[in-house]
Structure 1
Amino acid sequence: MSELKHPSDEEDTKYPAAGKVAVGGDAARHYDSAPGSEEVVCPPHTTDRRITTKIDAYIIPFVSVLYLMAFLDRVNIGNARAFGLEEELHMGGVEYNTALTIFFVPYIVFEIPSNILLKHFTPRVWLSICCIGFGSVTVFQGLVQNYSGLLATRFFLGAFECVLFPGCFYLIGSWYRRAEAQKRFSLFFSSTSLAGAFGGLLASAIGKMDHIRNYRGWRWIFLLEGCFTVLLGVIFLFTFPSFPEQATWLRDDEREYVKARLRASQGASGAERKIKLRDVKDVMSDYKIWLGGFMYFGLIVPAYSYAYFAPTIIQSYKYDPITTQLRSVPPWAVSFGFSMIVAILSDWAKHRFSFIIGSICIAISGFAVLLSVHDNLQVQYAALFLTCMGTYSAMPVIVCWFNMNLGGHHRRAIGSAWQIGFGNIGGIIATYSFVKGDAPFYRKGYAICLSFICLSVLSCFAYAAAITWENKKRSKQVHDLNLTEAQKLDLGDLNPEFRYML
């Protein structure tokens, strides 16, 4: 796993063990401080860098491994397809596409309720229970005897997995300041790339178990990966981290310092406050929340199209099942490295918008090549790298950008769940974008992906314009600095002192 960068040694010298983390100043104001905020004093026995390193060690490995397994259990049906899934279950027409689609029904419906339950039960309990749940469903998926059984397991897989993505982003956003969050968001999100690469390697190995104990290779993929996920969920039930307010692995003064620096960056968290129906209504009345959903929605279509159909597309290049799995690995691996480079540069520049647009342009170029070139396998395979790199590097920046512009626990819980839930409607579109009848060129599927990427670009420009206008408007206003903490908490990022990050 890539090493995360922290404040430099020079910064530690500038702010020694008993030093202070300056959060004021015009240069940082848009990103990590509210106007007039005071300096936050670091405990004398440590430094800001060491505390950040400690948080990284406790948070990032857990959420990354959890989502790696979730994404692997979600998309391994694409690997299973290459090892006889459709033949043994007598599937034809668009039945495979329907099996993919039904996963997204509970995934979309239960996002916001799941995030509310996450806050109620704590991430350690709720995310671990869901991990055990989707691992068990994956095992049952390997035991189904007919198409109806496959549909049932895919539905419950979506029900258990729906909390993980917005829940983990919500958890990460509750620990890190805005200007340091992108590397962590991208490392977590890049678990999808690692899962895609690992899934291809694992499927090529497990596929060799075909017909052992009278089980086809596709069943062994589900059974072995599902059993490992259940074991992981049991371990997480005792070890998974929670919110800063519940972190027993931090000393009292360290915990207070973390909470103070987060308040300086994002405002009061409101972790102790319950989310009410009125909060949902208030959050959803903000048009910027809807734009955040469309930004993500536009990229979900190409993202899931690639995740579910890359093995099918590669197999159309006349490779055997084992070679198909192995050929699916390099684009995912390159995507992981590129995504982390984009994240590091984005945090360094304290800027998101340009990195999103640049990454999306790479994805557009890849799909344009796939749409127009059909007689050169090397060029077509290279285009798969571009689509995977561009899409999977832009998505975590979009989610981080939107999430870190949401102030307070209640707005972040609702807003992040909405963005992921609404965005995953695109997953339904993706599942019907590549059908057997369009093989081997899949022109319709590539055209659909390009169209939705353009929708994401337009939404990103609209969101950037909206927050730029909002920041300028607030800069000209006379701020009511006499607001009580409760009033600021109710306003969240609508607080006049809040500044949106571009």
Structure 2
Amino acid sequence: MAASSIYEEPSGERSLSSSVNERALVRKIDLRLLPILFVVYVAAFLDRVNISNALTMGLQKDLKLTTDQPNIALTIFFVPYVLFEIPSNILLKRLSPHVWLSFCTVLFGIAMLAQGFVKNFGGIMATRFFLGVAEAGIFPGSFYLLSFWYKREESQKRFSVFWCSVLTAGAFGGLLASAIAKLNGTAGLQNWRWIFILEGIGTIVIGIISYFTISDFPQSAKWLTEEERALVKERAGHDHTSVPIGLKDIAWFFKSPMRVVGAFMYWGIIVPIYSYSYFAPTIIKTFGYTVIKTQLRSVIPFAAALALVLIVAWASDYTQLRYPFVMFGLILCIAGLGTLMSVHHNLSVQFGALCLVAMGAFSSGIVMICWYVMNLHGHIERSIGTAWLISFGNTGGIVATFAFLSKDAPYYRTGYSICMGAVVFGAVCASAYAFLVFKARRNKGVADRSYTL
């Protein structure tokens, strides 16, 4: 079948519910789901990585942290973040998305606000631990929710729009930090404290608003008519009924090699994603820029990555292929890392290589998520699977927090080598996952189109 016939926007005529215009319904879903989830995760990712901006403003010196303590403070976030993601998705299903996601948003806003008043290493550890607890459910819960509203052939664009919240947070964080840097001494507080205070207050406000604006699953969305609800269920092609999830379901889930391997490929790309997100300002600062110029230049790679993510999303949905676009991003990432490992005295080339790393890592990461999540079926698989993918993958964040140590500056050979190894590992696992998907599609000699390659 030609690519042009594989991807078609809803025509407005195709439906068991002939009275519903499908194209209008999709626009309605987009406007109700995507904007608020986008804003919530901008706040979540900004709160998670803004410590990287604070470190360039003197947090380490003011709190009298030793050489490795900033890295430990970055790591502690991931311990509860990884452990609580599957339980969080189960709670999301039981309490409803608008209740659970808004509650979590207010909680991590409070943790962020408190981080602005810490006095020592113990304080920063405690606030980042509770930040990890509160943020655990946001990312997998959002993808879990989105997966029940869209058809497979239109999902990559919607997943990518949500994923762009990460890139927006990264870019906006640099711009915001450059402005907040000028508040040093205001009300007797250092500028890095104002980063946490202002972003914490903003997050709490977003959390309150999200309670009234986040949508629930289609079967309980009050803003749908009965005909629209029937069409959403028909389009998504999955069971929308509420099924309790128990330990037997979790054990059953992990019996499938395909469901397990998918998280390993995501782990491989998470290492460079978090390495970049946490340490890009530090790396750019070694190029000899001032604090404000460092924050401003950290925006450029995120902007380049955002553009590529949107291009890849359109191309992936158009061709109905995921694996080639995953590998394309991984190759870009490898090229950038290879350049950073070998070139040390050409700032233009080094900065261009950083852009390649960001573009490759972020573009392949979201394709991996969409590929994996949309190959899961029903509430049980998707509830456990999205949490498993994100939780295991984010253990790569623990590796990333210790990849770039101050003693390795300015060349960071160890950090770049770790990222290179992780990306290559991710490429191998992505190929293994593609093979398992191919086998599932060809099971018993019949092409199963419920799986995307």
TM-score, normalisation: structure 2 = 0.97
2:339 is aligned to 369
* Structure 2 CA distance for aligned equivalents of residues 112 and 169 of structure 1: 13
Structure 1 SS opposite 2:187: coil
Question: For 1:355-411, what per-residue CA distance to the aligned partner results, in whole angstroms no more than 9, with x for missing partners?
Answer: 110111011101110011001011001111100000000001000000000000110
Residue type of the alignment partner of 2:64 = H
Paired AA for residue 296 in structure 1: Y
Residue 144 (structure 1) aligned with residue 118 (structure 2):
yes
Partner of 2:89 in structure 1? Answer: 115
Matches within 5 A, 1:26-425: 40-44=15-19, 46-263=20-237, 267-269=238-240, 271-425=241-395
Aligned length: 447
**DSSP 3-state at the match of 2:223:** coil
By how many angstroms is 1:476 displaced?
4.5
Flag the structure with larger Rg.
1
Counterpart CA distance in 1 for 2:212 and 2:44 is: 19
Residue by residue over 1:399-454, the C-alpha shift from the partner in whole angstroms, topping out at 9 and shown as x without a partner, is: 00000000001100001100110111100000000000000000000000000000
Give distance in 2, aligned partners of 1:149 and 1:205.
Answer: 25
CA distance in 1, matches of 2:81, 2:449: 32
Matched residue, 1:433: 403
Kept in 1: contact 2:109–2:200 (CA 8 A) = yes
Shift of 1:268: 2.3
Aligned to 1:469: 439
Q: Secondary structure in 2 aligned to 1:143?
A: coil
Counterparts of 2:148 and 2:446, CA distance in 1: 30
1:167 counterpart letter in structure 2:
G
Structure 1 moving runs of 4+ over 6 Å: none
In 2, Cα distance between equivalents of 1:134 and 1:499 = 37
Residues in 2 aligned to 1:261 and 1:184: alpha-carbon distance in whole angstroms: 15
Offset at 1:141?
0.3
| Cα separation, 2, equivalents of 1:262 and 1:81 | 45
SS in structure 2 of the partner of residue 213 of structure 1: helix
TM-score by length of 1: 0.87
CA RMSD of aligned residues (A): 1.3
3-state SS of 2:410 partner: coil
The aligned amino acid for 1:83 is: M
Structure 1: where are the runs of 5+ without partners?
A: 1-5, 21-39, 478-496
Range that drifts further, 203-212 or 283-292: 283-292
Please state whether the residue corresponding to 1:41 is helix, strand or coil. coil
Separation in 2, partners of 1:297, 1:51: 35
Q: CA deviation at 1:500?
A: 1.4
Q: Is the 8 A contact 2:340 2:350 kept in 1?
A: yes
Q: Which residue of 1 aligns with 2:450?
A: 499
Aligned residues of 1:43 and 1:254 also touching (Cα < 8 A): no
**Residue 427 (structure 2) pairs with residue 460 (structure 1):** no
- The answer as to whether partners of 1:42 and 1:48 remain within 8 angstroms in 2 is no
Maintained 8 Å contact 2:17/2:230: no
**C-alpha distance in structure 1 between counterparts of 2:128 and 2:444, whole Å:** 47
- Percent of residue pairs bearing the same amino acid type: 46
Q: How far off is 1:7 after superposition? A: 5.1
